[in-house]
Amino acid sequence: MTNLDILKEKYFFMPDATRGAVRYLTTKQLEETGTEAIVTNTLHLLIHPGPDVIQQLGGIKKMMGWKGIVFTDSGGFQLFSLLHSKKWKGKVSENGATFKSPKEGNTYELTPESSIDIQMKIGSDVLVTLDDCRDTGLSRADAEKSVERTLKWAVRCKERFNNEYGGTKKTGKLLTCVVQGSNYLDLRAYCAKELSKIGFDGYNFGGYVIDKDGELVVDEMSAVIENVPKDTIRYAMGVGKPEDIVKASKIGYNLFDTVLVTRNARHGTLYTSQGVVRIKNSEMALDQAPVDRECNCECCRNYTRAYLHHMLKNGEATALTLLTIHNLTFYQTLIKGLTLL
């Protein structure tokens, strides 16, 4: 048992600290929202400042002054979507991917082994295996290929984690995997079963969680949950809207993240106990109520909708901080409510 086993027993919502920071928040402000775990982006941190720099600085937690839990992604989801959409140049092979970062022009290689090495250098608590993530609407043949490659890479990641670093026993860290299979329920179930045989601390729903109509892919998500062990992390990656988190929790998922919570805050779209409030709307200009009367965050305790409306309209960075604090507090309160169910 490591202290991270709590991740298998409770509901968690992780804001995205993509480059080792949640935009507009200090680490203390982040803690005050009730956040206990964050997820960082391996691909971005690989490019800047680079895993060696992070390691020399004592790891991401020391850099951030963060005492909570840190997840890393494998870098795969973002990289493969950038490569498949041809936004970045590179090549995917049986061994992983080579690619060029458009900004710096440097060439990188991401393999199952290097993905684990990078995540170890970043100093995350919970690592994710590299998976072969594809676009939506895959043909059956391509979905099968993606599953087979994902399984092979999962084995290689686990071997690297165990042989090079001594696994969970020596590191105290957890290793989770990603279940692929696109929209084919039998492939989702097969991938989940095969990964369960290999054995991981967590099973993450990979690929796209929302269909073309914006609906949660409930059947695919259920096919995965029905075929993984219960006492594990069950991470619905990229979920999502508050109502989708509630839906996914009922299926059996216990861990969530989405960029929506912070991104929407910055655009003035706020989640409240009375539904969505758009702070930029003209009727907010004279509204002296807090964003949400039910909320006890720094933003709602001290400021009116009218003041926030004024600040946001004028591009004041303080508004971005306060609105992010509110949205994140709303999500953490929602999650704590699920714990009681």
Which residues are known catalytic residues?
73, 257
Task: Find the shortest distance in angstroms from Cβ 292 to Zn ion.
Answer: 5
Q: Beta strands 275-278 and 269-272: pairing type?
A: antiparallel
Integer Cα distance of 60 and 82 in angstroms? 25
Token couple for 165: 């670093």
Binding-site residue total for Zn ion (CB under 5 A)?
A: 5
x/- letters, 261..280, toward Zn ion (CB under 5 A): --------------------
CA distances from 275 to 65, 242, 298, 329 (A): 34, 10, 19, 15
The answer to whether residue 322 forms part of the interface with Zn ion (CB under 5 A) is: no
What minimum distance in Å lies between the beta carbon of 102 and Zn ion?
38
Nearest-approach distance from CB 314 to Zn ion, in angstroms: 21
300 binds Zn ion (CB under 5 A): yes
DSSP per-residue string spanning 103-172 = TT--EEEE-HHHHHHHHHHHT-SEEE-------SS--HHHHHHHHHHHHHHHHHHHHHHHHHH-HHHHH-
Helix (H) or strand (E) holding 205: strand 202-205
3-state DSSP assignment of residue 179 = strand
Taking CB under 5 A as the binding criterion, the range among 11-19, 35-43, 195-203, 326-334 that sits at the site for Zn ion is 326-334
Cβ density class 33-69: b for 16+ within 10 Å, e for less: bebbbbbbbbbbbbbeebbeebeeeebbbebbebebb
Nearer residue to Zn ion within complex by CB, 192 or 323: 323
Least distance in angstroms from the C-beta of 169 to Zn ion:
42
Residues 6+ apart with CB under 8 A from 26: none
Name the segment binding Zn ion (CB under 5 A); options: 61-69, 103-111, 151-159, 300-308.
300-308
CA nearest neighbour of 330 among 275, 285, 287, 283: 275
| C-beta of 127 vs 277, nearer to Zn ion | 277
Compare residues 223 and 335 and give the one whose CB is closer to Zn ion.
335
Sole binder of Zn ion in the list 323, 326, 327, 334 (CB under 5 A)? 326
305 lines the binding site for Zn ion (CB under 5 A): no
3-state helix, strand, coil in the chain (%, to 5): 45, 15, 35
Beta bridge pairs of residue 247: none
> Is residue 309 at the binding interface for Zn ion, with CB under 5 A as the rule?
no
Per CB under 5 A, 295 contacts Zn ion: yes
Which CB sits closer to Zn ion, 30 or 297? 297
Residue 297 lies near Zn ion (rule: CB under 5 A):
yes
Smallest gap from Cβ 276 to Zn ion, in A, equals 14
The residues, ordered by sequence, that sit 6+ positions from 56 with a Cβ below 8 Å of its Cβ are none
The answer to whether residue 319 forms part of the interface with Zn ion (CB under 5 A) is: no
Shortest distance in whole angstroms from residue 149 CB to Zn ion: 44
Task: Name the residues that contact Zn ion, by CB under 5 A.
Answer: 295, 297, 299-300, 326
